[in-house]
Amino acid sequence: MREISSPSLASRTTLRLGGTAIAELILDGPEDFTALPERLQTLGGTPLVLGAGSNILAQDGQLPLVLVRPNITTGPEIVGRAGDRILVRAGAAVPLPRLLRFCAQHGLTGLEGLAGIPGSVGGAVAMNAGSFGVQTCEKIEFIDVFTQGCINRITVAGLQFGYRTLSLSGKNQDFIVVEATFGLTESTRDGITNLMRHNFFEKKSRQPVTAWSAGCVFKNPAGGFTAGKLLDMAGFRGKKLGGMAFSEVHANFLINEGRGEAEAALTLLREARDAVLSRFGIGLEPEVRIVPCLSL
């Protein structure tokens, strides 16, 4: 296990915000996971499992957090077959775009809708990332997770997932994704590549994919309207405060214009949530993870 003291959240998240944590623990292999509980107890603070940091809004200042980085970079690789499905395994730290390129090169379809989503495989699984009608967890055969002091293999039947959520069925316990194995089907390389390219450029045309952001900051509510549409109608497209802004391209993206601070970001989120509730009677829930945990 490698340990770094006083790591910066701003340099480890795509929103480029946040103060410093107590420490960062980098887990390179199974023995590191086994030693993790004891080290966390010694350090104190609240553990925060961090992948590529693409869905995190970290507060400023000295934070009572210990960052836990599962640095499992195995794969992507084909590891077998289950019926008509080809099994592809990837470690938690594998970048999601690398997994998608591997699938395209090997003619494996099922994950094309995730094109243009940043982050790691572990993060995509843990939050059930989705786009263009595809949810990450719908394609899982099984995942290896660290929970209750050991690494266990959980099949898809043992998972409970929904809109941007994943839990172990019937259990209220923390876990860390170590590896994920997906069940994909064969198709033409050109067809897969073209669909990924289409999805990426479609996303790029309506989302600020090159800006410092954490993706969509609010979940889409039930009932038809998207969070972006509600924020737009409430007048928050392009609204700025202290170096932070709701994007002119997509109102549900909060971006750091290069000098933003977390307090300004949180103020904008509160103002936006309150305005939508007041005008439309709809309560928006954060999709971005605010750390340390804070209710808007």
**Residue 138 annotated among the catalytic residues of the structure:** no
3-class DSSP state for residue 274? helix
SS3 letters for 20-81? ECCEEEEECCHHHHHHHHHHHHHHCCEEEECCCCCCEEECCCECCEEEEEECCCCCCEEEEE
Q: Of residues 89, 137, 216, 273, which has the active-site annotation?
A: 216
Q: Of residues 164, 179, 237, 261, which has the active-site annotation?
A: 164
Q: How far apart are CA 27 and CA 9, in angstroms?
A: 18
Q: Find the helix or strand (DSSP H, E) in which 248 lies.
A: none
**Residue 164 annotated among the catalytic residues of the structure:** yes
**Residue 206 annotated among the catalytic residues of the structure:** no
- Find, among 213, 131, 202, the residue nearest to 164 by Cα: 131
Question: Taking the CB of residue 77, how many other CB atoms lie within 10 A of it?
Answer: 13
**Catalytic residue positions, numbered:** 164, 216, 287
